Amino acid sequence: MTNMEHDTAAAGAPTRSGFVALIGATNAGKSTLVNRLVGAKVSIVSHKVQTTRAIVRGIAIHDNAQIVFMDTPGIFKPRRRLDRAMVTTAWGGAKDADLIMLLVDSERGLKGDAEAILEGLKEVPQPKILVLNKIDQVRPEDLLKLAAAANEMVKFERTFMISALSGSGCDDVMDYLAKALPEGPWYYPEDQISDLPMRQLAAEITREKLFLRLHQELPYASHVETEKWEERKDGSVRIEQVIYVERESQKKIALGKGGEAIKAISTAARKEISEILEQPVHLFLFVKVRENWGDDPERFREMGLEFPR
């Protein structure tokens, strides 16, 4: 929509705004969908499950509405303390929203985690919509059965069938959300696509590149923090980040032979951070061992998670 069209629409109708919690099992495609709906990369996408740790908000403007997406961590059966914190945060996000959007991977159907989420949703009072993703991978009759089964378990206001990857069906979702949210002023300036601090977004990007490069060798016991952020007179930004691992052996993996792994990760992260900031970036990565960081309450607070007792 052009600015002129936007002004015309804004003049004729009241503005709407609200928070939409996007929940679903891990790898259902939530981050891909938020990035598609917002039209910018605000939530990291990785083929490794449970990459979204804290709630990332992507902000979209559609017609007269400002839609704030709360991209919660995938809800799954928690084993470790970090897992438990992520699940608590996800359900907390759902309870703070105006509307809940459940994303289901059509190929996987209602097995395992998806079924557990539907059970949990029965207790949540907000209006809910069902979004079936990856519909191009499933026969139409199977999609209808899946939609009927989910609607039997939980009362959904509407059911949508989409492909987050191709964008098919996504406009229908946006049209619905723009009308369903309450009337009221917008929460954020129009040009602000994400209220996740840039430092944290930069750390998430580096963490994504770390996973893409080392997902087989390096387990989840790694965490990236942006320690220094300096805007320089020449218009560039100098960023220092620390990759924390739990053991010396993991540090060697992260550095790679002759430092090749860390160089490749740094190059990929710097390129993407620079594209998002639209300014040159000087990125310096350090790897440090911090034993048992997964049991440290301070780390959880930095990631925007509640520390489970």
297 annotated ligand-binding residue: no
133 annotated ligand-binding residue: yes
**For residue 219, which phi and psi values (nearest 5 degrees)?**
-75, -170
46 annotated ligand-binding residue: no
142 annotated ligand-binding residue: no
3 annotated ligand-binding residue: no
**Which region, left, alpha or beta, applies to residue 63 given φ > 0 means left and ψ of -120 to 50 means alpha?**
left
74 annotated ligand-binding residue: yes
27 annotated ligand-binding residue: yes
134 annotated ligand-binding residue: yes
71 annotated ligand-binding residue: yes
235 annotated ligand-binding residue: no
25 annotated ligand-binding residue: yes
136 annotated ligand-binding residue: yes
- Would you state the structure tokens that stand for residue 267, as one six-digit string? 């190059």
191 annotated ligand-binding residue: no
- Would you state the structure tokens that stand for residue 98, as one six-digit string? 């105006």
- Would you state the structure tokens that stand for residue 226, as one six-digit string? 């942006």
Distance CA 298, CA 108 (A): 36
Tell me, what amino acid is at 224? V
Beta bridge partners of 224: 243
145 annotated ligand-binding residue: no
Distance CA 117, CA 24 (A): 7
159 annotated ligand-binding residue: no
Give me the DSSP letters along 175-214: HHHHHHSPB---SS-TT--B-S-HHHHHHHHHHHHHHHHH
Distance CA 286, CA 293 (A): 16
Binding residues: 24-31, 71-75, 133-136
Binding residues for GTP: 24-31, 71-75, 133-136
